Amino acid sequence: QKEVEQDPGPLSVPEGAIVSLNCTYSNSAFQYFMWYRQYSRKGPELLMYTYSSGNKEDGRFTAQVDKSSKYISLFIRDSQPSDSATYLCAMSGNTGKLIFGQGTTLQVKP
């Protein structure tokens, strides 16, 4: 079993939809949770970072961590074609080693 599981998709939604992207994990020591966005032929860029449990909002993006369920989510409101990308979850504990999910490919259709 992988430490971090992420459905690779692809996920296709119409413009304006609410998008929900998710990861599950098995290591209860994880306490730092990140979402990276990767456009085609580019490197990943940090989108959201959350420490421990709770929600964090940044514009149209909300990151949610539920440590009791070992489940993290990224919500995108009013999705735009420019949001079309691969979204990678990543997490780490005190060891410092960052573990990535496979990435979910999202397409937002105009």
When binding is defined by CB under 8 A, the residue of 19, 34, 63, 74 that contacts another protein is 34
Residue 32 binds to another protein (criterion: CB under 8 A): yes
Closest alpha carbon to 91 in 7, 30, 23: 30
Backbone angles phi, psi at 52, to 5 degrees: 60, -150
Exposure class string for 53-79: b at 16+ Cβ within 10 A, else e: eeeeeeeebbbbbeeeebebbbbbeeb
Asked if 71 is part of the footprint of another protein (rule: CB under 8 A), the reply reads: no
- Contact between 41 and another protein per CB under 8 A: yes
Site string for another protein, 5-24 (x = CB under 8 A): -x-x----------------
Closest distance to another protein from the beta carbon of 46 (Å): 6
CA distance 44 to 104: 13
For another protein, how many residues bind (rule: CB under 8 A)? 22
Q: Which position among 26, 42, 57, 109 is part of the footprint of another protein (CB under 8 A)?
A: 42
Residues in contact with another protein by the rule CB under 8 A: 6, 8, 32, 34, 36, 41-46, 49, 51, 88, 92, 96-98, 100-103
